[in-house]
Amino acid sequence: MGDTHLSAKAFIKSNLKLALQTGQLSLHYQPQFSLAQETLTGIEALLRWRSKEFGWLNPELVIAVAEQDELIVLLSEWVLRQALTDFAQVQNEVKRLSVNLSVRYLQRRPVVTVVEKYLAESGVSPHCLDLEITETVVLESAPALLNALKQLRQLGISLSMDDFGTGYCGLSYLKKLPLSTVKIDRSFLHDAVSNARDALLYHDILQLARNLDLRIIAEGVENQAQLRFLQLSHCHEAQGYLLAKPMPLSQLLQFTGQQKTSEFLAVAEDIHFLLP
């Protein structure tokens, strides 16, 4: 297992640049839904790379390898540009496109200039773009980085904290960053439907986000019990395999056309340990 991991890592380092140049990488899109309005609200762009040697490569490993040198610049800008180009084809049906930005990339490039360029090329409005950052940004919150994030918000772009709750982001830092959304890590939801103390913790996280006037997206919705929990908790939005799996653009175009009358959300039922 370890040898395979090391081999995959070496393969990525040696072949990522070529893969970018020869069209081996692709993007899949996972839909996000409003729990109150029962409508499709956004899509998240997710990196995919299928190699002959290793099959589908772990996207997290690909990004981790790219972050070790300037490959992260090439990869990040390819993802952003391709995602905006694809989104232009569905923006009449989908309000928002979410794209992850690596902290290492944010440290290396004048991100505001790059984002403005790709928005102009694609014809996508800044208000449709949501850039996701991780809690690592808290540890790297140099003045120049914070200033870049503020400039992005001033353009009308929204900023999301991805995998919230898994890192070191305290309340003071959460207030400091110009965020519009928090995405609660899937691990919290998994435990919340089976353990009363974890359910209370999830409620506390939701309430904290509401108090800061942040949109809340729950990640990792995989079964009806989790969906009901979120509905009863008045979470704003959700994404996960129960609602829709990540899909290529061709499939997304079909999917968005079928969402005119949505029936994907069940009526919430009471769960005995939930808070009022």
Domain ranges of the chain: 2-257
Which of the residue ranges 72-76, 189-193, 196-200, 260-264 would you say has the lowest mean pLDDT?
Answer: 260-264
Instruction: Please answer whether residues 169 and 139 qualify as being in contact, where contact means their C-beta atoms are separated by less than 8 angstroms.
Output: no
Can you give the pLDDT at residue 266? 44
At 2, is the pLDDT very low, low, confident or very high (cuts 50, 70, 90)? low
Residue 47 bridge partners (DSSP): 27
Can you give the pLDDT at residue 5? 63
How many H helices and E strands in the chain? 12, 9
121 CB-near residues (< 8 Å, 6+ apart):
81, 84, 85
**Could you tell me what percent of the chain has a pLDDT over 70?**
86
In DSSP notation, 119-181 reads HHHHT--GGGEEEEE-THHHHT--HHHHHHHHHHHHTT-EEEEEEETSS---HHHHHHS--SE
Instruction: Please answer whether residues 87 and 122 qualify as being in contact, where contact means their C-beta atoms are separated by less than 8 angstroms.
Output: yes
Average pLDDT for residues 169-175, to the nearest whole number?
65
Average pLDDT for residues 252-265, to the nearest whole number?
70
Q: What would you report as the CA-atom Rg of the chain, rounded to the nearest whole angstrom? A: 19
Q: Which residue would you say has higher pLDDT here, 142 or 145?
A: 145
Average pLDDT for the chain: 87
At 107, is the pLDDT very low, low, confident or very high (cuts 50, 70, 90)? confident
What is the distance between the terminal CA atoms of the chain, rounded to a whole angstrom? Answer: 47
Other Cβ atoms within 10 Å of 58 Cβ, number: 14
Within its chain, how far is the Cα of 173 from the centroid? 20
197 CB-near residues (< 8 Å, 6+ apart):
none
Within its chain, how far is the Cα of 249 from the centroid? 17
Instruction: Please answer whether residues 140 and 179 qualify as being in contact, where contact means their C-beta atoms are separated by less than 8 angstroms.
Output: no
Q: Which residue would you say has higher pLDDT here, 68 or 266?
A: 68
Average pLDDT for residues 235-257, to the nearest whole number?
94
Long-range contacts of 202-207 (CB under 8 A, 24+ apart): 202/229, 202/233, 203/233, 203/275, 205/164, 205/165, 206/233, 206/234, 206/235
Can you give the pLDDT at residue 4? 61
265 CB-near residues (< 8 Å, 6+ apart):
33, 35, 38, 227, 231
Average pLDDT for residues 95-121, to the nearest whole number?
92
Average pLDDT for residues 214-237, to the nearest whole number?
94
Query: Residue 23 has which token pair?
Result: 């069209």
Tell me which of 3.20.20.450, 3.40.50.1370, 3.30.450.20, 3.40.50.720 is the CATH number of domain 2-257: 3.20.20.450
pLDDT of 270 higher than 70: no
